[in-house]
Amino acid sequence: MTDFAATKAMFDLPEGVLYLDGNSLGPLPRAAQARVQEMMADEWGQMLITGWNKAGWMALPTGLGDRIGRLIGAEPGHVVMGDTLSIKVYQALASALELNPGRKVVLSDNGNFPTDLYMADGLLRSLGGDYELRVVDPEAVEDAITDEIAVLMLTEVDYRTGRLHDMKHLTEKAHAHRALTVWDLAHSAGAFPVDLAGCNADFAVGCTYKYLNGGPGAPAFIYVAPRHADKARPALSGWLGHEAPFAFDLDYRPGAGIERMRVGTPPVIQLTALASAMDVWDMADIADVRAKSVELTELFIAGVEVTCPELQLASPRDPAQRGSQVSFRFEEGYAAMQALIARSVIGDFRAPDIMRFGFTPLYIDESDVQGAVDILADIMTNRLWDKPEYKIRQKVT
């Protein structure tokens, strides 16, 4: 079994803070600061540009891609790091559409993260013609998969409620109708076991600053199934996705396999911080993480429902149907969350009325959960949220 006391000690959490927002931004791994400082001083500082060769900077995107691939059930050599999640959504969707010519409908749901829908809409507008982004309720996705669909594009876990799509079943349904799939794993990677290969997924993307603890702005990843790896044409034909980037050929030739999904220069400092986080993940079994996550979320739900009757559970009650977060609805949810943060219990708010809490067993345990329940109960029972200062909306909620 994973030693969660040992993994908790690997994070630098502020004294007295109960951090239930790792589903939005993971905390700092203790080793990251020294490791980044060492990279900057000994590699960037002393090696200068020779660090690309001497320090192996150019290999970081695929090396770390494979380490993340272990957590998401990807075949070795089919995940690469770089850019932002929005860029990777665009890449994956554009490649999937081109692999399925003759169809022009992208199917998604209104529980998808808005940026995925924005990127899809922008791409389809650029393509022109009769391309359509079809958005349905999450519960209607399966029935909406028809022979019209070119690509099914879904976020596996709803960012607001934690509702979990059945990747295997929906992928099978999509393939039965000759549609391709693009899965966003932003709230999946590091939260529970994902089996991209076993589900026969076509493309997947995800970020590394949430459950994977890579830090603010940490690079995203993209997965391309082996059967597509040498066929998918990258719509964003960056120089590092070229077959021979340092030949400086003016004609683009895509690199082999996943290498073609590189775009720009790897963010070496951020990848170095991510490597420290992955060292902690190397101490954990993702199945153990999932089992512990279920225990913690069930404990939290039970405690909140007993002590805070004003809050309505927005997440699925069945733990098998949700990710590693719990959401409650409350009309004054923003103010209540600000009151919690003032008491050093950090979660976040999603409009219009969602109070969202993430549970990451790498550094959250039962005592943290109980402490958070007790403080939330005090805030709700005594209406401590009902103060003007807690109702002032900040830019980031």
| 89 contacts 82 by C-beta, under 8 angstroms | no
Q: Please state whether 83 falls in left (phi above 0), alpha (psi between -120 and 50) or beta.
A: left
ω into 352 cis (within 30 of 0)? yes
Nearest to 336 by CA among 387, 383, 385: 385
Dihedral sign, Cα of residue 318, residue 291, residue 359, residue 198:
negative
List 21, 83, 116, 184, catalytic entry:
184
| 68 contacts 221 by C-beta, under 8 angstroms | yes
Q: Which residues contact 338 (CB under 8 A, 6 or more apart)?
A: 385, 389, 390, 391
List 88, 210, 292, 350, catalytic entry:
210
What's the 3-state SS for 152-178?
EEEECECCCCCEECCHHHHHHHHHHCC
Is 210 catalytic? The answer is: yes
Is 211 catalytic? The answer is: no
Residue with tokens 């809050």: 311
List 209, 223, 328, 349, catalytic entry:
209
Give the chain's radius of gyration (CA, Å).
Answer: 22
Alpha carbon distances (Å) from 32 to 7, 42, 83, 115, 283: 14, 15, 20, 29, 16
Q: E strand or H helix at 106, and its extent?
A: strand 105-109
Q: Which residues contact 51 (CB under 8 A, 6 or more apart)?
A: 43, 44, 57, 268
Residue with tokens 């998604």: 108
List 113, 223, 300, 357, catalytic entry:
113
d(CA 313, CA 366): 20
Is 163 catalytic? The answer is: no
List 159, 356, 357, 363, catalytic entry:
356
Residues labelled as active-site residues: 113, 184, 209-210, 356
